[in-house]
C-alpha cells in the first residue's frame, strides 16, 4: 500500500498531477504513522483542519506539518521541519503546521461573511486528497430561471480546473449552461472527466467519462430533477470532481489487471485464449 500524507491538500506521497508544483530538491519529507495511544491519536485527528475521517492503521502525517521543536534531532536551522527525513517525534507532539490550508480557510471565511443566513460550508477529505464541498442549506435565494442562476452563482467558488460555457439560445435552440472538467495526460491529450449541462428550465444532465450519470447518484444533493439554488451547482461540481477521479482510478486498476491477464493467456491453447480475450474485451467495453 503506498504511503501518503492524509492532511487535506498535502501532496506528500501522492501521485504527482500535472498542475502540482515540482518537488523541491533535497531529502523528501518523512511520514509518521498516527500514534497508537487513543488520546494522542484523537489529538492528532482534531488538530488537522477539515479532516473528517477516522484514522486507520496505515494513516500518515508527513514532517511538513510539525515544528522543529517537535523533533529530537535536526539537520536544518529552519523553524519548520520541511526538509527533515526519518527523524523521531517527541512524546506528545502533534501536527500544527498547515500552510496549504491557509487559502482554504481564507476562502471559507470570505464565503461565511457574505450572509450569515446564506449558507455554511464544511470541507471533507476524499480518497484522493481532493475536497468536496458540503453545504448545509439555510435560506437560499430562489432560482426560477437560468438568468437567476447566472445572477446568484459566484464563479469564484468554482475549482480552477472547471470551465464553463453559456449558450444564449436562439429561435432554434434553448439556452443552456455547461460546466466541464478537462484534464491532459502525459502526452497532452485532453480528456473530458465530466460535464454538467443545465437547461433553460433548470433541468440537468450529467456525463462522466462519456457515460451518462443517473440522477440517483446525486440525490443526496438534489431532491428534484431541477436545480433549485446556486449552491447546488457548487455541490454538484465538487461531488463530480471527486467522483470522476475515483472512477478514473478504478478504471486504471481494472485496465492494468486486464492487461496482465491478457499477457498470461499466450501460453494457453488458442480456443481458451480466444474465450478469455473475448471476455476481456466485454469487460473493457463495460468499464
Return d(Cα 122, Cα 108) in angstroms, integer.
Answer: 8
Q: How many CA atoms lie within 13 A of 229 on its CB side?
A: 16
Query: pLDDT per residue over 20-58, tens digit each?
Result: 777 777 778 888 999 988 888 888 988 887 777 788 888
The least confident of 1-10, 16-25, 158-167 is: 16-25
Lowest average pLDDT, out of 35-39, 128-132, 171-175, 234-238, goes to: 128-132
Helix (H, G, I), strand (E, B) or coil at 186: coil
Higher local confidence (pLDDT), 234 or 220 = 234
Sorted by sequence, the CB contacts under 8 Å of residue 243 that are 6+ apart come out as: 194, 208, 213, 217
pLDDT average, residue stretch 175-199? 84
Q: What is the model's pTM?
A: 0.43
3-state secondary structure (DSSP) of residue 162: strand
Instruction: Determine the angle formed by the axes of helices 230-263 and 270-286, rounding to 10 degrees.
Output: 170
% of the chain residues with pLDDT over 70:
72
What are the distances in angstroms from CA 260 to CA 129, 248, 249, 263, 275?
28, 18, 17, 5, 16
Cβ atoms of 135 and 230 within 8 Å: the answer is: no
* pLDDT greater than 90 at residue 198: yes
The predicted structure's pLDDT at residue 137: 38
Q: How far apart are CA 168 and CA 146, in angstroms?
A: 10
Q: Write out pLDDT tens, residues 110-148.
A: 444 444 333 333 344 333 333 443 343 344 567 888 888
C-alpha cell at 248: 478514473
Per residue in 243-262, pLDDT tens? 777 665 566 667 777 777 77
In whole angstroms, give the CA distance from residue 271 to residue 41. Answer: 56
Cβ–Cβ under 8 Å, residues 195 and 182: no
Residue 103 — very low, low, confident or very high, per pLDDT cuts 50/70/90?
Answer: low
Whole-number pLDDT of residue 117: 37
208 pairs with which residues across the strands?
Answer: 194, 211
% residues pLDDT > 90 (the chain): 6
Amino acid at each position: 500500500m503506498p504511503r501518503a500524507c492524509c492532511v487535506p491538500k498535502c501532496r506528500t506521497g501522492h501521485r504527482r498531477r500535472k498542475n502540482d508544483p515540482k518537488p523541491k530538491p533535497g531529502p523528501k519529507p518523512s511520514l509518521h504513522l498516527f500514534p497508537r495511544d487513543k488520546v494522542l491519536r484523537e489529538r492528532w485527528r482534531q488538530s488537522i483542519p477539515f479532516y473528517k475521517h477516522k484514522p486507520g492503521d496505515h494513516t500518515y502525517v508527513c514532517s511538513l506539518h510539525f515544528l522543529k521543536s517537535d523533533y529530537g534531532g535536526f539537520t536544518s536551522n529552519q523553524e519548520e521541519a520541511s526538509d527533515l527525513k526519518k527523524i523521531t517525534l517527541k512524546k506528545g507532539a502533534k501536527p500544527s503546521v498547515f500552510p496549504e490550508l491557509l487559502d482554504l480557510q481564507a476562502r471559507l471565511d470570505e464565503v461565511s461573511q457574505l450572509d450569515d443566513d446564506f449558507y455554511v460550508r464544511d470541507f471533507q477529505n476524499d480518497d484522493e486528497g481532493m475536497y468536496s464541498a458540503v453545504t448545509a442549506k439555510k435560506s437560499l435565494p430562489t432560482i426560477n430561471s437560468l438568468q437567476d442562476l447566472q445572477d446568484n452563482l459566484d464563479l469564484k467558488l468554482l475549482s480552477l480546473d472547471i470551465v464553463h460555457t453559456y449558450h444564449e439560445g436562439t429561435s432554434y435552440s434553448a439556452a443552456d449552461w455547461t460546466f466541464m472538467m478537462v484534464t491532459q495526460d502525459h502526452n497532452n491529450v485532453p480528456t473530458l472527466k465530466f460535464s454538467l449541462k443545465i437547461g433553460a428550465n433548470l433541468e440537468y444532465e450529467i456525463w462522466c467519462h462519456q457515460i451518462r450519470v443517473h440522477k440517483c447518484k446525486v440525490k443526496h444533493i438534489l431532491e428534484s430533477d431541477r436545480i433549485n439554488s446556486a449552491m447546488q451547482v457548487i455541490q454538484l461540481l465538487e461531488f463530480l470532481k471527486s467522483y470522476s477521479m475515483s472512477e478514473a482510478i478504478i478504471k486504471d486498476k481494472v485496465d492494468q489487471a486486464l492487461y496482465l491477464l491478457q499477457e498470461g493467456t499466450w501460453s494457453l491453447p488458442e480456443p481458451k485464449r480466444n474465450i478469455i480475450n473475448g471476455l476481456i474485451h466485454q469487460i473493457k467495453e463495460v468499464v
